[in-house]
Amino acid sequence: MDNFYSFTFNPTHALTAILGRQHDDIKYYNARNSLFKLSLMADYDQLVCLPSLTTIDKHWYQIETARKVLRQFGGRALLADEVGLGKTIEAGLILSEYLARGMVQSILVLTPASLVSQWQGELASKFNISSITTDDDSRQQNPEEFWTANQRIVASLNTAKSAKHYPLVTSRNWDLVVVDEAHHLKNRNTLNWKLVNALSKRFLLMLTATPVQNSLVELFNILTLLKPGLLKTEADFKREYVSSKNGRIPKNPEKLRSLMREVMIRNTRSLVDVQLPKRFATTITVTPTESERKLYRDLSDFLRDNSEHLDKFSRTSLLMRAGSSVNALVESLKNLSKRLPSDELKSLTRRAAQIKQVEKASSLVELLKKSSQKTIVFTTHKATSAYLAKTFSEAGIEFAEFLGDMSLKQKDASIEAFRENVPVLLASETGGEGRNIQFANAIVNYDLPWNPMKIEQRIGRIHRIGQTQDVFIFNFCLKDSIEEYILRILHDKINMFELVVGEIETILGNVDDEFDFSEVVMDIWLKHQSNDEINTAFDKLADDLLKAKDKYRSTQELDEQIFGEDFEA
């Protein structure tokens, strides 16, 4: 028991202490405390972490899933809910419960590179669990110290399996390992699978909405990581459970399902009765003024010509800020000029500062004046938020602000004002997170994140369980900007805004294990100059995403055929 829990319990000592409690109050208290802790360890009917988790909606099936994993599966499970039901929340509940009970200290989350920062943010904001990531500079400076000195790490699977890091991450003991997008471990011959297999781990959670993509052997490989020997050897598994004619069709399906129920939970939308209202997306393409158009074109040319002098972050930041507002761009150009003295940069900064007429802001004001909906206007940058606040005030539009640096009291007051009095909430990226704002039913993406999952997170603030009205999404972009091309792909080509929340993440993952949408669109923009070249490159990207979407739909059908609704919490 000492190996498993963080306290030592001796029944004889406890009884002696209780009988003699009038003589030794401290021993009595310690004994009672030990008995209480023991009862918690033995009973998962109540999750002790729940009262402290105030920033998430806790749905019954997520709580039941956590209890089942803790009580029946011993902390080793495949969480295979259909997309959009909150596998991350379920994993966070399990993680939080083990932490609350003192049963884990060291935690490793393995995820595709594009989801590392998202996992770190959600653990912190939703579960109050701090962590360090493989994006941190310390990983580069001292890899050995990074892997040994930190107790809670969110890591890119690609980084962890590299020759430099593999020996370090596998040389220590982990109390709990979480693997997101676990279908990337479907092949036992890959480093992905070998890394997780080599980890010294007590508890293991594997998350994927698509456990089987091509063959039942993939299921064997994933479940063997969770419970070695459950399905015996691959040869035994094939002989017993896989049809010789088609490796996707199970033989003895009921017997296979019976074994899988020991490690797998798959909640479906039909079970949890998630009936969300419709959502409608509109792209509003704004024709910029001539000075805005020339500034954007010249900035793009500057970035193309100076790519060897600028790091990827600086290039991306400048273009994203240019798509947000000239105010945000000026701020970034000034900072860059300090590091990289350049007459061309000074000229761009001066020209940006001189632009006073902003067509996108004028179009937004026009939209808001016509609207009767409670509307959240999302921005990414402080300078853009400040500019819009000034613009709204001058236009006579009543609004409240919800910004990341506001106090809790100020945020509460803003949400209340939005609910009761004002029609518009001007919000930063974290706007409304963890709060019930389903009384609003329209959002404006004034600037557009290049990461589709971040767009989904914004939509998810109001298009979620509890929403009773249809939801309207207005995406703003400048004509001939990179955001216009992004929306052509996401909206026109793959119909992202009609997908279930979470599906776009799976589709992007089907393109490539380490596919990063924002990096790809940036590379296309900077490598091509003529409109024809840019159009051709973005059309190719759209085709790749459509193929990935078709693959996802095919996988969905296969998983529904294999699993049905037999694995719900």
Which of 173, 129, 165, 162 has its CA nearest to residue 145? 165
Give yes or no for residue 3 having a pLDDT over 80: no
Task: Retrieve residue 200's tokens.
Answer: 């010294």
> Using CA atoms, how far apart are residues 548 and 551, in angstroms rounded to an integer?
5
Q: Which of 102 and 210 is assigned the larger pLDDT? A: 102
pLDDT digits (tens, 9 = 90+) for 130-148: 999 998 887 878 899 999 9
Among the residue ranges 142-151, 195-204, 303-312, 487-496, the one predicted with the least confidence is: 303-312
- Predicted local distance difference test score (pLDDT) of residue 273: 64
- Predicted local distance difference test score (pLDDT) of residue 8: 39
- Coil, strand or helix: which one is 287? coil
> Using CA atoms, how far apart are residues 381 and 401, in angstroms rounded to an integer?
13
- Predicted local distance difference test score (pLDDT) of residue 25: 57
- Predicted local distance difference test score (pLDDT) of residue 467: 83
> Using CA atoms, how far apart are residues 432 and 429, in angstroms rounded to an integer?
9
CATH architecture of 279-287+358-560: 3-Layer(aba) Sandwich (3.40)
Give yes or no for residue 376 having a pLDDT over 60: yes
pLDDT digits (tens, 9 = 90+) for 312-343: 888 999 999 999 999 999 999 999 988 888 88
pLDDT digits (tens, 9 = 90+) for 83-139: 778 899 999 999 999 999 999 999 999 998 878 888 998 899 899 999 999 988 878
Kind and range of the H or E run holding 522: helix 517-527
- Predicted local distance difference test score (pLDDT) of residue 17: 45
DSSP string, 424-467: EEEE-TTTTTTS--TT--EEEESS--SSHHHHHHHHTTTSSTT-
**Percent share of the chain, pLDDT over 70:** 89
> Using CA atoms, how far apart are residues 268 and 272, in angstroms rounded to an integer?
7
pLDDT digits (tens, 9 = 90+) for 10-50: 444 444 444 444 445 556 555 555 555 555 445 677 899 99
Question: Cα 561 from chain centroid?
Answer: 28
- Whether 318 contacts 299, CB under 8 Å: yes
pLDDT digits (tens, 9 = 90+) for 8-21: 344 444 444 444 44
Among the residue ranges 35-49, 298-312, 517-531, 534-548, the one predicted with the least confidence is: 35-49
> Using CA atoms, how far apart are residues 543 and 552, in angstroms rounded to an integer?
14
Q: Which of 532 and 514 is assigned the larger pLDDT? A: 532
Q: For 107, list phi and psi in degrees, rounded to 5.
A: -135, 135
Per-residue confidence band for 567, with pLDDT thresholds at 50, 70 and 90: confident
- Predicted local distance difference test score (pLDDT) of residue 14: 45
- Predicted local distance difference test score (pLDDT) of residue 179: 97
CA distances from 12 to 4, 8, 16 (A): 20, 12, 6
Question: Cα 455 from chain centroid?
Answer: 11
What is the mean predicted confidence (pLDDT) over 525-550? 93
- Predicted local distance difference test score (pLDDT) of residue 320: 95
Which of 261, 338, 343 has its CA nearest to residue 302? 343
Whether 279-287+358-560 and 60-273 are alike in CATH topology: the answer is: yes
Per-residue confidence band for 435, with pLDDT thresholds at 50, 70 and 90: low
Per-residue confidence band for 1, with pLDDT thresholds at 50, 70 and 90: very low
> Using CA atoms, how far apart are residues 178 and 435, in angstroms rounded to an integer?
27
> Using CA atoms, how far apart are residues 50 and 97, in angstroms rounded to an integer?
8
- Whether 350 contacts 359, CB under 8 Å: no
Q: At what angle do helices 382-395 and 326-339 cross, to 10 degrees?
A: 150
Question: Cα 290 from chain centroid?
Answer: 38
> Using CA atoms, how far apart are residues 174 and 169, in angstroms rounded to an integer?
9
Q: For 376, list phi and psi in degrees, rounded to 5.
A: -100, 125
Q: Which of 288 and 341 is assigned the larger pLDDT? A: 288
- Whether 355 contacts 326, CB under 8 Å: yes
Three-class HEC string of 145-212: HHHHHCCEEEEEHHHHCCCCCHHHHCCCEEEEEEECCHHHHCCCCCHHHHHHHHCEEEEEEEECCCCC
Strand 471-478 with 442-445, pairing: parallel
CB atoms within 10 A of CB 137: 8
- Coil, strand or helix: which one is 107? strand
- Predicted local distance difference test score (pLDDT) of residue 214: 82
Domain limits, the chain: 11-42, 60-273, 279-287+358-560, 290-354
- Average pLDDT in the chain: 87
DSSP state of 479: T
What is the mean predicted confidence (pLDDT) over 250-261? 85
- Predicted local distance difference test score (pLDDT) of residue 127: 95
Q: Which of 244 and 84 is assigned the larger pLDDT? A: 84
Which of 9, 74, 63, 68 has its CA nearest to residue 36? 9
Per-residue confidence band for 352, with pLDDT thresholds at 50, 70 and 90: very high
DSSP state of 474: E
Q: Regarding the domain delimited by 60-273, which CATH topology (the fold level of the hierarchy) does it fall under?
A: Rossmann fold (3.40.50)
Q: Which of 362 and 567 is assigned the larger pLDDT? A: 362
**Percent share of the chain, pLDDT over 90:** 57
Q: At what angle do helices 191-198 and 216-226 cross, to 10 degrees?
A: 20
Sign of CA dihedral 260, 262, 263, 269: positive
- Coil, strand or helix: which one is 76? strand
